[in-house]
Amino acid sequence: SQQGEEDPQALSIQEGENATMNCSYKTSINNLQWYRQNSGRGLVHLILIRSNEREKHSGRLRVTLDTSKKSSSLLITASRAADTASYFCATIKGTGNQFYFGTGTSLTVIP
Amino acid sequence: KAGVTQTPRYLIKTRGQQVTLSCSPISGHRSVSWYQQTPGQGLQFLFEYFSETQRNKGNFPGRFSGRQFSNSRSEMNVSTLELGDSALYLCASSLHQGTNQPQHFGDGTRLSIL
C-alpha cells in the first residue's frame, strides 16, 4: 500500500500564479523527497527535506515539513507552463532505498 | 554523464508470455530499484539491488524477479504475464543505499499485455 497521499489530486492554475500541493504520510521518516514526472517520462528529483528541517528552498520551490502532523507541502512560485507535470512525495522505509510514493498531484499551468 | 537508460521503451506481449526488461544505471551508481506504475495503484516498489544482491523486495508475486550484474546493470523478468501486468516499469539508480540518496529515474518501459 502507498505510504503517502497528495492533495489535491489535480490542480489547474494560470501562469504566474503559485501552486501549493500537500502530502501526508503514515509512519516516521528520516527524510521526505519530492519528485516531478512529465507525461510519459521518468521521475525527476526536486528536493529532499530531512526530518529535523522545517523548511527548505530551491529556486522557485519551497518545501515545508511538519513531522507532528506527518505532512509536507510543496509550493511552486511564479508558475510556468513548463511546470505542468505530476508531483509526488516519497518517503523511505528502513535503511535501504525502498521508496513509498504518494498518489501524486497533477498540475496544469495554463499559459 | 549519461542518465539511466531503460530498454526497450515499449513492449507488447500476450498473456502467458514472459518478458525481460533492462536498466543501465548512471555510471558509478551501485543501487538499482524497480517500480511499477499504473493508474490504479500508482507507483509501487518492486525490488532493489545493490552489489548484485537483492536488498529489499516489495509485495509482488514470485513471477516478478530481477538480477544485477557486476557492472551494476539490472534486468527485471516477469513470467506468465497477466493483463494486470500492463504498466510503466521504472528503474531508478543511486550512488549507494541509504535514506539520503535521491533516486535518478529512467523514462521507463511501457509494457502492454494483450
- In this prediction, residue A95 carries a pLDDT of 65
Tens of pLDDT, residue by residue over A29-53, are 888 999 999 998 999 999 999 999 9
Per CB-CB distance under 8 Å, the chain B contacts of A99 are 33, 35, 43, 45, 92, 103
A81 SS3 class: helix
B114 shares contact with chain A (CB less than 8 Å): no
Interface contact flag, B42 A40, Cβ < 8 Å:
no
Question: Which residue in chain B is spatially nearest to A47 when comparing CA positions?
Answer: B102
d(CA A98, CA B56): 7
Instruction: Name the least confident of B27-31, B39-43, B76-80.
Output: B39-43
Per CB-CB distance under 8 Å, the chain A contacts of B107 are 40-42
Burial group, residue A53, by CB count within 10 angstroms (0-12, 13-18, 19+): middle
- In this prediction, residue A1 carries a pLDDT of 44
Strands A105-110 and B42-50: unpaired
d(CA B60, CA B76): 13
Judge if the upstream peptide bond of residue A8 is cis by omega within 30 degrees of 0: yes
Q: Which amino acid is at B80?
A: T
Judge if the upstream peptide bond of residue A111 is cis by omega within 30 degrees of 0: no
Distances (CA, A) of A34 to A61, A105, B21, B39, B66: 10, 11, 26, 19, 27
Strands A71-76 and A85-93: unpaired
Question: Is the pLDDT score of B77 beyond 60?
Answer: yes
Q: Which residue, among A43, A45, A47, would best test binding to B if mutated, counting the most B CBs under 10 Å from its CB?
A: A43
Averaged pLDDT, groups of 10, chain A, 111 residues long:
76 97 90 94 94 96 96 97 96 75 94 95
Burial group, residue B11, by CB count within 10 angstroms (0-12, 13-18, 19+): middle
- In this prediction, residue A3 carries a pLDDT of 60
- In this prediction, residue A96 carries a pLDDT of 67
Question: Which residue in chain A is spatially nearest to B103 when comparing CA positions?
Answer: A45
Average pLDDT on B81-86 reads: 97
Per CB-CB distance under 8 Å, the chain A contacts of B33 are 97-99
